[in-house]
Amino acid sequence: MVSLRVKTARRTQLLDITREVQKAVAESTVNSGVCTIYVPHTTAGVIINEHADPDVASDMEAAFDQMAPREGNYRHAEGNSDSHIKTALTGTSQVVLVEGGKLALGRWQGIFFCEFDGPRERTVWVKIGADRDRG
């Protein structure tokens, strides 16, 4: 398991971490397998989506803020119930296949750390499981 550090700058922020995860895959020397990206927080998640046009991430940030508004009739006293709800919507992990020693991402896909209660320093765990030899 590799631990990555992520530093976010805004309360709601989708941050492209594809390069860092790719590096962890390369260093694992696994040729073929499955990469699990896991966020050990309860107000931050991870998604896979387009990272070519940064406007896509902006639109998704706005959409999450609209689906779970910051102000609401919440019980939890810390003022971040919306952050927990957004995390439930994105999920705390993603899996990506590994082929030829690299993340097998689609042409437009990147991996985004999803900050929902920033700015903060955060952690992402990456584990690369090798395929079992079958021969």
Interface positions with a second copy (CB under 8 A): 1, 33-34, 36, 38-43, 47-50, 53, 55-56, 58-60, 62-64, 67-68, 73-78, 81, 84-85, 87-97, 99, 104-109, 123, 125, 127, 129-134
Provide, rounded to whole angstroms, the least separation between the CB of residue 119 and a second copy.
18
What amino acid occupies position 11?
Answer: R
Shortest distance, position 48 Cβ to a second copy, whole Å: 5
Cβ-Cβ contacts under 8 Å for 3 (sequence gap 6 or more): 123, 124, 125, 126
Helix/strand/coil for 63: helix
Helix axes 54-67, 81-90, angle to 10 degrees: 120
d(CA 71, CA 6): 26
Q: What is the DSSP letter of 100?
A: T
- Whichever of 23 and 78 has its CB closer to a second copy, that residue is 78
CB of 60: closest distance to a second copy in angstroms? 6
Nearer of residues 22 and 87 to a second copy, judged by Cβ: 87
Nearer to a second copy among residue 19 and residue 100 (C-beta): 100
Cα 130 from Cα 101, distance rounded (Å): 10
Smallest gap from Cβ 62 to a second copy, in A, equals 8
Torsion of CA 69, 73, 79, 84, to 10 degrees: -60
